[in-house]
């Protein structure tokens, strides 16, 4: 409400609706998009962790956490059963976090 661009728009005679649509929404969309992208990675990691612990999804459902949990029994015989789901989980979570950071850098008006 007291940001410079809102005070300037109000001084130029803009109404409340115009300020919300033209100034406030574009400035709020970028942080929400960044937060949402980073949270997708966090949710994937949380789901896999809960499934690994046995609290989340159960065995007939395909989940990286379930795959990692079931692969513990076969670690000496076939370690790739543990390696590949773990690698894909780390890659997916890291990708969403890095995508969120890239979106933040691209849309942050203070960095321009």
CB 50 within 8 A of CB 98: no
Residue 97, class by beta-carbon neighbours within 10 Å (0-12 exposed, 13-18 middle, 19+ buried)?
middle
CB 49 within 8 A of CB 31: no
**pTM, whole model, 2 decimals?**
0.75
Query: Per-residue pLDDT tens for 43-90?
Result: 999 999 999 998 887 878 888 899 998 888 898 999 999 999 999 999
The per-residue pLDDT for 24 is 82
Pull the structure tokens for residue 89.
Answer: 């989980």
Q: How confident is the model at residue 42 (pLDDT cuts 50, 70, 90)?
A: very high
Query: Per-residue pLDDT tens for 4-19?
Result: 888 888 888 888 888 8
| Residue whose C-alpha is closest to residue 67's, from 92, 97, 42 | 92
The whole-angstrom separation of Cα 70 and Cα 86 is 12
DSSP-derived secondary structure letter, 55:
S
Element (H, E) at 104: helix 80-107
Mean pLDDT computed over 27-54: 90
């Amino acid at each position: 409400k007291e940001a410079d661009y809102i005070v300037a728009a109000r001084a130029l005679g803009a109404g409340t609706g115009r300020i919300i649509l033209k100034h406030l929404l574009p400035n709020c969309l970028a942080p929400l998009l960044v937060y949402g992208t980073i949270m997708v990675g966090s949710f994937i990691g949380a789901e896999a962790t809960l499934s690994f612990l046995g609290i989340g999804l159960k065995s007939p459902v395909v989940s990286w956490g379930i795959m990692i949990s079931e692969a513990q029994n076969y670690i000496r015989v076939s370690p790739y059963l543990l390696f590949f789901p773990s690698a894909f989980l780390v890659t997916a979570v890291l990708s969403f976090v890095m995508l969120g950071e890239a979106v933040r850098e691209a849309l942050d008006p203070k960095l321009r």
